[in-house]
Every structure is written in structure tokens, then in C-alpha cells.
Structure 1
Amino acid sequence: MNHATNSIVGLINFLTFLLSIPIVGAGIWLATRHSGDCLRFLQWPIIIIGAAIMLLSLAGFMGACFRVTSLMWLYLFFMFLLLLAYLVFIIFAFAVAGKGHGHSVPGTGFEEYKLHDFSTWLQDRVRSSGSWNNIRSCVRDAGVCRKLGQKSMYESSAGFYQEHLTPIQSGCCKPPTPCGYTYVNATFWTGTISYADSDCSKWSSDDQSQLCYDCDSCKAGVLANLKHDWHKVSVLNIVIFILLVVVYVIGCGAFRNNLRRDNYESQGEARMTKSQPSRLPF
């Protein structure tokens, strides 16, 4: 390892420091935005990870460029802890998002979702009335069902059944297929209440602000949408984790280089001190 190693570590950490600024900003925006994303589970982890990357990048930059061994030691120690935490987060995200899938409906182009298919941890995020009231208001205010209803106003039932609905459209905007309601448009169905599914009695066409927002199928649709996003984030996390491991390995090389330099300078000073003739007091 030589001076070029320290320069590379300094450059990498300067770039990661710049990248951490929008990460922290995005997390703060999510945390303070009124009626933000319908499931706001990740704003604080984003802020914490972004802040940790910012501080570690600054410490690594200072330690590598100015050859401050103590800063490099702190940088490597906390980077190791961050890598462990990151690895646990990645495993957790894959474990949580690994369960839950859509069920194909014969003769249609969409899928329907069951809440019990998802992990218990995700189910708990939407089962409590307090949490679900906020999520339901967010989904309703987003106008997903209103737009779907307007789009399908003059569409035949055959045309609608071939639509590729999103999980939220399938779970929140229409009744479950086993209920046997008759299609008028995407958000208006007629017929008598059936109990083939527990969600059938929760559906309401008369009140367009209700629809199936209280259905388990709606909760499952929200979780399916979240799961899709988490899969994309998990792939990105793996890439970032690999890059951080590479930076950590290079940082270890720079740290050893700084230690050798400090030892060499201290030994050189000791030799110079011994080589100087002693001065007598007279």
C-alpha cells in the first residue's frame, strides 16, 4: 500500500459523502411530508443510514487524506458495525418480502391477494385500526379507485376483466370475485350480499368513499405493492453493501499503510535522538 491507496480511499469517501446528502434529505422529506407514502416504514432507517454514511465518509476522507490514524481506526470500526447492520437489514427485508403473492383469477387479466399469505410482521403493520385508518385515508386520497372508475365508465365487463390491475386497484376498488357481484363499472357493482368471502359484506358501491377500503383484500393489495418496492430496494441494497465492503477492504489497506508510516517515523525519531551527542552540563 502507498500514498495512492490513501488518495483512492479519500476520493471514494468524498463521493459517498456527497451521495449521503440527498439520502438524508429524502428521509427527512418522507418523515415531514403531510399524508406521505401510504406505508412509511422506511423513513427513519433511510435517515439513519444516510447520516451514518455521511459521518463515516467524512471520517474516512479526513483519515485517509490527512493520514490521521485515529480517525481511520474509528472509520473502520464503525464501518464494520454498519456493514453488520446493513447485512441484517438486507436479510430481514428478504425474509419479510419473501411471502405473499397474487392468485390468478380464471378468465381475467388480474390477480387477487389474500392477507394471510404475507408475513406476520407485515400483517401486523396493517391490522391495527389506528395504522390502517391512516393508510386507508392515504389510498383513498390518492384517487386510485376514482381514476379507475372513470377509465372503466364506458368499458364492458369483458374488457374490464382483461385489465391488468395493480394490487391496490384489485384489492381496494372492486369486490372479490367470489362475492358474485354484477359489474357496472370498476367501482360500481350490483347484486345481493354473498358470504363466500369475509370481505363481501365490507364492500359498498353506494358509498364511493368506502368501496373495499376496509377489506382484507385491500390491506393485502397495499402489502403486495410494498413488497414489490422492497424487492427493488433489496437489490439496490445488495449493490451498495458490496461497494461498502470494497471501500472497507481498501480502507483497511490504507489504515495499515498509516500504521507503518507512523511506526517508521517514530523509529526514525528514536534513531535521531540516539545519534545526537549528549551535552555535558559544563
Structure 2
Amino acid sequence: MAVSNNITACVTLMALICAVPVIASGVWFASAQGEECARLARWPVAILGGLILLAALAGFVGAYGNRRRLLAFYLFAMAALIALLIALLVFAFTVTRGSGAYPVLGREYDEYRLDGFSMWLRGYVDPARWEGIRSCLAVSDTCKKLARQAGYITADQLYQSRLTPLQSGCCKPLSVCGFGYVSPTVWTNLARPASDPDCGLWSNDPAQLCYECESCRAGLLAALRSQWHKANIALVVATVSLVFLYLIGCSAYKNAHAEAIYHRYKW
């Protein structure tokens, strides 16, 4: 192989490796439901990673076998896929920009408002979807685990703990309700005027708790948003690497094309 083709083969091989974290992120999104009882995305990221893998494989075969049509296909396909990956990242960062979290005086954990999230995310917990998510949360260990914690004997012990977004939003009433503490999932209503609609939705019934509260939906979105941000780290690294490798591949392809013309017409 010519030097330029060797470089292109190495570049496409590295692009194959870069496709792995994209696929892994997509598979994680599609399969890891966890305590959130919901998936923000199923297969789009994994499919995009698979297409990047196939394009890189075509480029490697083209470079190794000196097949310029395959190399041209690789460059064209990779440009389109990188553009899609960048668009996906921009979309993900845009719709997950708001956290919905707000601090509460005297609490180590945050509480969450639904209106702190983007319209797109809020649409994800509309009534049609929420019924199934709510049923899943009610039978999950999210709040049961909190109720079994032996370390929360007093309210202050709970207040100084770092609850997950779901535990904060679904397993206890909002702090503004002013309920009296009995245990993490059992509270007494002190008959204060309800300062938030969620206060009237709270129930000590383990099957109810605050699963109908907006704070619970907000806690779910906060958990999913955290998932996206973790996956975005891998996607950003993969995207930057792919762009860098693509530029090298373009240069190597151009040089290989020039070499081919030179050898064709030289005396």
C-alpha cells in the first residue's frame, strides 16, 4: 500500500474504535432502565454508532485494498454521520439545559420543579406516559430503600442526607408543605394551608406517596437528565476524535488521489 493509504487505514481503524463508545452509550440508553422506570432514548444513539462503525469498516477495507470508491463512500458517509452526531449533541444539550433543581434552606438535597425543565422534557412525562411510569415507581425499590434506612431516626438526619432526585421528589412531601416527620416516607399533616398543590397529593400509603406529584415527575426528569449528561461526555470525546480523524482521512485521500494521477501520467 502507498503511504497515504497506510495513513487512511490507520485513521479508519481508529474511527472504528471511536464508534464503540457511541454504540455503548446507545445500548446503555436502550437497556438500562434502572430505578427511573423510563428511558429517555432507546435505539437512535446505538443505531448511529453502528452506522459509524460500518462506514469506518468500509473505509478500512477501501484503504487496505486500495479501493478508492470505498474510500470516497467512507468520507461522504462519515461526514453525514458526524453531522448527525453533532446535531444530536446540540439537541441533547439544548433540551437538558434546565435542571429544575432548587436548594432548600437547611437541606443537603435539592427539590425539583417541573417548570424548570425544557418543554420537550416535560412532554416526556405527560399523563399518558406517566401512568405506566408511576406504576413502575410504586413497585420499585426507590422509596422502599429509603424507608428501610435505619440511619434516619430524626428529621435532621434525613435533611442532612443526599437524596437522589427521585427520592427527593417522589418519596417525601415538599419541604414547603411543613409536614411533621415520622419516618422518611411517613409524615403528619399539621393542617397548615397548602402552599403547593403537591401538598394535597401526598399520602403515607406506600403505593401512593408523592407519585402523583409534579415534584416526582421533576425528580424523574432530573435523573434522566443526569444520565444524558454522563453519556454526553463519551459522545463529545468520540465526536471530537472522529472530526480530527476525518480531517486526517480527507488529507490522506487527497494525497493518495494525487499519487494515483501522478503514477498514471508519468513517463
TM-score by length of 1: 0.84
When structure 1 is superposed on structure 2, of 187-196 and 9-18 the one drifting more is 9-18
Tell me the amino acid that sits aligned with residue 206 of structure 2.
Answer: Q
Show the counterpart of 2:143.
Answer: 145
Give the 3-state SS of the residue equivalent to 2:148 in structure 1: helix
Q: Is the 8 A contact 1:86 1:241 kept in 2?
A: yes
Give the 3-state SS of the residue equivalent to 1:226 in structure 2: helix
Tell me the amino acid that sits aligned with residue 256 of structure 1.
Answer: K
CA distance in 1, matches of 2:176, 2:32: 38
Mark the CA change 1:72 to 1:226 in structure 2 (over 3 Å): closer, same or farther: same
CA distance in 2, matches of 1:170, 1:87: 33
- Structure 2 residue runs of 5 or longer lacking an equivalent are none
Show the counterpart of 1:174.
Answer: 172
Residue 24 of structure 1, CA deviation: 4.4
Residue 28 of structure 1, CA deviation: 5.5
Residue 145 of structure 1, CA deviation: 0.6
* 1:20-169 to 2 correspondences below 5 Å: 20=19, 24=23, 27=26, 31=30, 38-127=37-126, 129-152=127-150, 155-169=153-167
Show the counterpart of 1:221.
Answer: 219
Q: Per-residue CA shift, 1:21-78, capped at 9, x if unaligned?
A: 6854774576468889633232222222121111111111012222211111111111
Does 2:239 correspond to 1:241?
yes
Give the 3-state SS of the residue equivalent to 1:112 in structure 2: strand
Q: Is the 8 A contact 2:59 2:74 kept in 1?
A: yes
Give the 3-state SS of the residue equivalent to 1:199 in structure 2: helix
CA distance in 2, matches of 1:197, 1:47: 41
Mark the CA change 1:43 to 1:113 in structure 2 (over 3 Å): closer, same or farther: same
Q: Is the 8 A contact 2:15 2:242 kept in 1?
A: no
Mark the CA change 1:253 to 1:34 in structure 2 (over 3 Å): closer, same or farther: closer
Mark the CA change 1:53 to 1:100 in structure 2 (over 3 Å): closer, same or farther: same
When structure 1 is superposed on structure 2, of 137-146 and 79-88 the one drifting more is 137-146
Residue 237 of structure 1, CA deviation: 2.1
- Structure 1 residue runs of 5 or longer lacking an equivalent are 272-282
Structure with the greater alpha carbon radius of gyration = 1
Q: Is the 8 A contact 2:11 2:248 kept in 1?
A: no
When structure 1 is superposed on structure 2, of 184-193 and 88-97 the one drifting more is 184-193
Show the counterpart of 1:274.
Answer: none
Mark the CA change 1:173 to 1:34 in structure 2 (over 3 Å): closer, same or farther: closer
Q: Is the 8 A contact 2:114 2:214 kept in 1?
A: yes
Q: Is the 8 A contact 2:109 2:163 kept in 1?
A: yes
Provide the aligned length of Structure 1 versus Structure 2.
266
CA RMSD of aligned residues (A): 2.6
Q: Per-residue CA shift, 1:137-182, capped at 9, x if unaligned?
A: 3333430110111105751112111111111110000011122211
Mark the CA change 1:101 to 1:140 in structure 2 (over 3 Å): closer, same or farther: same
Higher relative contact order (CA 8 A, sep 6+): 2
CA distance in 2, matches of 1:84, 1:38: 31
The percent of aligned pairs where both chains have the same amino acid is: 37
CA distance in 1, matches of 2:119, 2:6: 48
Q: Per-residue CA shift, 1:89-108, capped at 9, x if unaligned?
A: 11111111111242111122
